[in-house]
């Protein structure tokens, strides 16, 4: 069940209505039933994995809470971690490592034929697995108390707005909200609907439209050179942001309508002046998860410089692997790790270059140089994220140079799908930049709420119309992060 479908609208209205009318003591029941129904709409069998993950981590956390020392709790933590990592290993990584082993031995002329499971990857498995993993670790560390109510814990794991693509919520934030009563509030409902509409607009109107140019460049890698490829990479940078943040806006808006506050996942990441700052603004719930449960336990920056840099690279390699079982994702994560190490070693090469070219610090030009260089590096790394293979990524990057196979200059016309189409794509990008420049989306929604009623509703109607037209007649793309 996609967020941009008619079926979802009916599902959400029914779920929200039940949530408001059922007494607080029993309100978790319709929410849990709705969450499992939502998940089973993808594939019924997936629900058994979700239930198994819930039961193992619930029992493990309860056993840990009954023991006073970490030494006693450690056994149950390891059981939970082994199960959680094993779940990802079987469904997501087994075939990847088997194929990689074949390639490695083939390079040495050694024939190897390991088994392949060819299992369908359950949607959202990486997200809910990381959520329950953080929960059992926090219980083990005595940061939180184990949730004794099995139904509410099951809802914490399966809560449908966050289930498929996050954000990855910590129990300390979400669990108390599952015990509270949430009365209908008009202002909160309006704010949530505004956010959902903006999220759907970013997904259906901007992301899915830009996908036309992006898909052409990557599906025909090497056929175009120069500006068409440069704009293809730029458009993918915008596409993945609008796709993922669009999902997040719909999820957080839907949760807000029902009275829940979920973790914010984005803070205008493409205005970052360094890769370090980018990761403080992009997929915040995941980056803080890796910071707290991987980077800090490795020693963080409280170790020798060489170990500190190794910790950074290891963390980002694992982050890349979390995103997908493929070497393109590993390289993508590794590139970000290396860029962060370079920033640490140079004291911020973007800032130093900007200070040299535009000595007036905090000036528009100085900031623009830092933001532009950071976005260029992030965009190049996105090529590996989008590509189907390392070879395709290398081909796309090399094709950005305006030189064709015969060595002649080419690729000065970016409008490979027609001038009107290209100008419309460019307009969408500039429109998004304009909206982002106005400040935080929440601030913008607050400003819109102060508009006169006719102007406000004209904007809403225009947004609904644009989403409806794009959904009915545009290109339908599944949310990118559903594959993780």
Question: Catalytic amino acids?
Answer: 323
Chain position carrying tokens 């409280």: 302
| Rounded CA separation 127/479 (Å) | 14
| Sequence-distant (≥ 6) Cβ neighbours of residue 372 within 8 angstroms | none
Residue 88 and residue 322: Cα distance in Å, rounded? 9
Lookup: tokens for 420? 């009107």
DSSP assignment letter at 269: G
Signed CA dihedral, 257, 155, 3, 244: sign only: positive
Given a contact cutoff of 8 angstroms between Cβ atoms, the answer to whether 84 and 442 are in contact is no
3-state helix, strand, coil in the chain (%, to 5): 75, 0, 25
| Nearest by Cα to 159 from 266, 260, 288, 44 | 260
Q: At what angle do helices 28-40 and 150-158 cross, to 10 degrees?
A: 40
CB 170 within 8 A of CB 138: yes
Length of the chain: 484
Please enumerate in sequence order all residues whose Cβ is within 8 A of that of 119, keeping only pairs 6 or more positions apart, or say none.
90, 91, 94, 95
Query: What is the C-alpha to C-alpha distance for residues 479 and 484, in angstroms, rounded to an integer?
Result: 10
- Is the CB of residue 27 less than 8 Å from the CB of residue 181? yes
CB of 380 closer than 8 Å to CB of 275: no
| Contact indicator for 168, 286 with CB cutoff of 8 Å | yes
Residue 475 to residue 129: CA distance in whole angstroms: 31
The answer to whether 245 and 184 have CB atoms below 8 angstroms apart is: no
Dihedrals φ, ψ of 70, to 5°? -65, -35
Question: What is the C-alpha to C-alpha distance for residues 447 and 454, in angstroms, rounded to an integer?
Answer: 15
Other CB atoms closer than 10 Å to residue 365's CB: what's the count?
A: 12
């Amino acid at each position: 069940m996609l967020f941009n479908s008619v079926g979802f609208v009916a599902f959400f209205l029914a779920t929200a209505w039940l949530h408001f009318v059922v007494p607080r003591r029993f309100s978790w029941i319709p929410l849990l039933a709705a969450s499992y129904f939502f998940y089973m709409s993808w594939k019924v069998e997936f629900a058994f994995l979700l239930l198994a993950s819930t039961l193992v981590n619930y029992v493990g956390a309860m056993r840990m809470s009954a023991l006073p020392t970490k030494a006693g709790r450690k056994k149950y933590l390891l059981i939970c971690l082994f199960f959680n990592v094993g779940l990802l290993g079987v469904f997501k990584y087994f075939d990847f490592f088997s194929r990689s082993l074949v390639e490695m031995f083939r390079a040495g002329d050694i024939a190897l034929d390991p088994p392949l499971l060819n299992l369908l990857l359950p949607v959202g498995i990486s997200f809910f697995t990381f959520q329950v993993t953080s929960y059992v670790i926090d219980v083990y560390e005595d940061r939180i108390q184990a949730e004794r109510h099995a139904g509410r814990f099951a809802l914490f794991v399966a809560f449908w707005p966050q289930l498929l693509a996050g954000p990855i919520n910590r129990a300390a934030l979400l669990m108390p909200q599952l015990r509270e009563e949430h009365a209908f509030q008009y202002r909160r409902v309006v704010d949530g609907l505004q956010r959902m509409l903006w999220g759907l607009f970013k997904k259906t109107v901007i992301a899915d439209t830009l996908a036309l140019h992006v898909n052409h460049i990557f599906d025909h890698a090497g056929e175009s050179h120069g500006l068409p490829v440069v704009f293809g990479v730029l458009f993918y940078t915008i596409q993945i942001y609008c796709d993922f943040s669009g999902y997040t806006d719909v999820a957080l808006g839907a949760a807000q309508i029902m009275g829940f506050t979920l973790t914010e996942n984005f803070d205008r990441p493409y205005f970052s002046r360094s890769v370090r700052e980018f990761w403080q603004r992009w997929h915040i719930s995941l980056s803080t998860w890796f910071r707290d449960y991987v980077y800090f336990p490795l020693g963080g920056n409280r170790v020798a410089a060489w170990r500190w840099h190794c910790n950074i690279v290891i963390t980002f390699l694992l982050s890349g692997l979390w995103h997908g079982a493929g070497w393109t994702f590993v390289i993508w994560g590794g590139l970000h790790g290396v860029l962060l190490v370079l920033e640490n070693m140079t004291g911020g090469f973007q800032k130093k270059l900007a200070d040299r070219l535009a000595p007036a610090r905090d000036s528009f030009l100085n900031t623009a140089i830092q933001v532009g260089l950071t976005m260029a590096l992030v965009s190049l790394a996105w090529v590996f994220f989008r590509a189907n293979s390392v070879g395709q990524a290398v081909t796309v990057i090399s094709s950005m140079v305006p030189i064709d196979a015969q060595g002649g200059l080419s690729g000065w016309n970016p409008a490979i799908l027609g001038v009107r189409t290209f100008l419309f794509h460019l307009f969408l990008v500039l429109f998004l930049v304009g909206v982002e420049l106005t400040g935080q989306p929440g601030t913008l929604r607050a400003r819109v709420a102060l508009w006169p009623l006719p102007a406000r509703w004209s904007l809403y109607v225009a947004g609904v119309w644009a989403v409806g037209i794009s959904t009915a007649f545009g290109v339908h793309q599944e949310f990118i992060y559903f594959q993780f």
